[in-house]
Chains A and B, each alone.
Chain A
Amino acid sequence: MRGQNRSGLRFTVTVAATMFGAIVVALGALAAGPNIVPRVTGAAQPMQEASPPPLARPITDDVRRMRNYPEQPPVIPHAIEGYQLTLHTNRCLECHRRQFTEGSGAPMISVTHFMDRDGQVLADVTPRRYFCTACHVQQTDAKPLVGNDFEDMLLVGKSRR
């Protein structure tokens, strides 16, 4: 401890101040009851075997979801279980590739997906956009673990309570 190198009086004062501060904080915490974010590990004891909650079911209703902001990657409204997405094959592009959208009725991958990082437009999907599920995800019926007060930017300031 650094305090021990200096005068004994100073060390005593520091310790006393720290303890006083700790007590004040602890009392405050007891009184106010702060919002504690749930632990990621869940409520179970760490060393005990916990029964896992049932897996959430994916939403597969095929209805396009509004994006929460323009740059949001659209979410996937259909089942993708067992779809192979490897270096060899991309099941998503079997419907969403430009050439196939006429037959499949699926939305085409957006124009940004044809551009490499220098803004050059390629004839097919650019390698950096190849792995769809890096950005596009399925939605499930799982309950959110923590609350969310995200507001649509058009409503910001208008719906002040």
Chain B
Amino acid sequence: MKAIFARVKALLLRFWHVISRPSAYLSLGFLTLGGFICGVMFWGAFNTALELTNKENFCISCHEMHDNVYQELQRTVHFTNRSGVRATCPDCHVPHEWTHKIARKMQASKEVWGKIFGTISTREKFLDKRLELAKHEWARLKANDSLECRNCHSAIAMDFTKQTRRAAEIHSRYLVKGERTCIDCHKGIAHELPDMTGIEPGWRAPPELRGSGSSLELHRIGLVDYLADL
């Protein structure tokens, strides 16, 4: 063990010895230009590879994605619609901005682990895990204020007069004021939903914000007081 450690240390020291001294054989021009060209090639290759993993074809090359979520997507408005705009997997599930994209891609290395060990390799396993997976996506979209939705649907560009009265009212009350974000109400717009027992509708205020103005809340407080007096 000690011998290996010493050898590694010797190797590193030799490497440092070589790299910390001026080049004896290669010209400065060759080194700088060569470094620049290699850098460009590396960067191009990196981004090309990154883009390749950011395509629908890449996503559905795994049967887990192809047989479950992709089949469901094809039945929704995000796949076919009257204006012919289609959202593919990465449009909603990968941030478009570079830094956030890299961060998401690093997180997604967990999915490689899942693929290797077959975490959702059968339909049954997938259905059992669906609630957990969905909750991750809801949390992610909640945290970034539904960024991926807003890449196409912006509140500024929404013409409320073209919406139904109910939709316009709800959007101006919750969305424009920033009280809620898209994913709060629009869950399951591209995939089937998991068992939603106990998951409250998105337009409801979170419990800590539920004001005493609600008759339900008054009722509850009254009951709690009554029980405390007993």
A interface, CB within 8 angstroms of B: 60-62, 78-79, 81-82, 84, 86, 88-90, 94-95, 99-100, 102-104
Complex CA gap A89/B189 in Å reads 13
Taking a contact as CB atoms closer than 8 A, the residue among B76, B188, B193, B215 that contacts A102 in the complex is B215
Query: Closest CB-CB distance, B83 to chain A, in whole Å?
Result: 15
Least CB separation from B202: chain A residue: A94
Complex CA gap A93/B24 in Å reads 78
**Residue count of chain B within 8 Å CB distance of chain A:** 18
What A residues does B114 contact at CB under 8 A?
A: none
Check A103–B203 contact: CB distance below 8 A.
Answer: yes
Check A100–B214 contact: CB distance below 8 A.
Answer: no
17 extra A-B contacts, CB within 8 A, seeds A89-B194, A89-B195, A103-B203 = A61-B164, A79-B164, A82-B77, A84-B188, A84-B193, A86-B193, A88-B192, A88-B193, A88-B196, A89-B196, A90-B196, A99-B216, A100-B201, A102-B215, A102-B216, A103-B214, A104-B203
Using an 8 Å CB-CB cutoff, how does the interface string of B171-188 with A read, 1 for contact, 0 for none? Answer: 000000000000000001
What A residues does B196 contact at CB under 8 A?
A: 88-90
Query: Closest CB-CB distance, B130 to chain A, in whole Å?
Result: 9
Check A62–B193 contact: CB distance below 8 A.
Answer: no
B interface, CB within 8 angstroms of A: 76-77, 164-166, 188-189, 192-196, 201, 203-204, 214-216
What B residues does A81 contact at CB under 8 A?
A: 77
What B residues does A104 contact at CB under 8 A?
A: 201, 203
Check B193–A89 contact: CB distance below 8 A.
Answer: yes
Complex CA gap A60/B167 in Å reads 11
Check B192–A86 contact: CB distance below 8 A.
Answer: yes
Least CB separation from A94: chain B residue: B201
The 7 closest A-B pairs by CB, nearest first: A94-B201, A89-B196, A89-B193, A88-B195, A60-B164, A84-B188, A84-B193
Complex CA gap A90/B201 in Å reads 11
